Structure 1
Amino acid sequence: MRGVDEELVERVDAEDRALGTVSRWEAVREGWLHRVATVVCRDTQGRFLVHRRAHQLTRFPGHYELGVGGAVAVGESYEEAAARELGEELGARATVSLRFKFLNTVGFSPHWLGVCDAVPTRLGTPDPSEVAWHGWLTDAELQQAMRQQPFTPDSHDILDRYLACHPRRAS
């Protein structure tokens, strides 16, 4: 597996059209647009999967996060990247569907963020180098946690956009 500095991504334009291949590190360093995928997981009861990032991570260590995701590799779709990251980080498999994408300018570097969703039937063993904790939260519990705990900068925007596209379920 490549290190984060060696990951190859597609540099894209403001319309999400590929311009060429660069390293993820170079894209972040130069502020070039590239693609990132995340998957919002819900269970059959409508609860959200939330995780806390490992403390040794360089980006937002110890922060909570709504989506599981990472950079989209060259030639990979948002769905493929989200499914891969779900497996790598949480040991889970699920059918992943792209719901929307937006130009995300909060956080570490600007990027197109493809937000997918999935209903995993089973979670495996989380990768401890990525995930310190994970659990299922109702809508109300998630809203409270987001007011009280440090979440990654894009988690609030992802949740707002996700809920705008999906009806709320009773919590």
Structure 2
Amino acid sequence: MVERVDEYDRVLGVVERGEAVRRRWLHRIGGSVCRDAGGGYLVHRRAEGLDRFPGLYDCVIGGAVAVGEGYQDAAARELAEELGVDAVPRPVVRYLCRSGLSPYWLGLHEVLVTGALVADPAEVAWCGWLTEAEMCEAVRGADFVPDGREAFGRYRAAGQAGRTTP
């Protein structure tokens, strides 16, 4: 269940996420761009069994914000579930994303990953670290999710790219 929201991110009601996607109702997603101490970016290939963009590459780890949950809490929960990362992500930007399968509000965060990753194979088929130049090239590829491409652009526009530590 997720909160259906309006164009100002105000709650309208509670719906099933699948229904929100099918009907193209706005809802909330919390996600994070992961960085390492050297300034690298985490890129991952989505698992083949996923119903949204299976097998494509992405630079955002995230998912639906649960009813009553905040963007930052959702981003932290998704990091733990998908990568085994226990961290408090730092908010970067919140915006209305229309480049995915359906529109949604994205609370985009960043997190410094210092430990080993333990990827959930049901969510992440592969992951690795890229330099900023490599990430800029990767997001232009046809095998990259469109909303991840937009998120990276928004992340860079917010002045986060090029920093060595989040």
Q: TM-score range by the shorter chain?
A: over 0.9
- Pick the aligned partner of 2:139 from 146, 158, 162: 146
Contact persistence 2:35–2:112 (CA under 8 A): yes
Matched, 1:91 2:84: yes
Q: Which runs of 4+ in 1 moved over 3 A?
A: none
Tell me the residue number matched to 2:102: 109
Matched, 1:70 2:63: yes
- In the superposition, relative to structure 1, how do residues 75 and 147 fare at CA in structure 2: closer, same or farther (>3 Å)? same
Tell me the residue number matched to 2:153: 160
Q: TM-score, normalised by structure 1?
A: 0.90
Q: State the Cα distance separating 1:147 from its structure 2 match.
A: 3.2
- In the superposition, relative to structure 1, how do residues 163 and 57 fare at CA in structure 2: closer, same or farther (>3 Å)? same
SS class of match (1:107): coil
Tell me the residue number matched to 2:72: 79
Count of equivalent residues:
164
Q: Distance in 1 between matches of 2:52 and 2:158?
A: 28
RMSD over aligned Cα atoms? 1.6
Matched, 1:56 2:49: yes
SS class of match (1:14): coil
Letter in 2 for 1:85: E
SS class of match (1:46): coil
Q: Percent identity?
A: 51
Q: State the Cα distance separating 1:16 from its structure 2 match.
A: 0.2
Q: Distance in 1 between matches of 2:43 and 2:18?
A: 26
Letter in 2 for 1:53: R
Unaligned ranges ≥5, structure 1: 1-7
Higher relative contact order (CA 8 A, sep 6+): 2
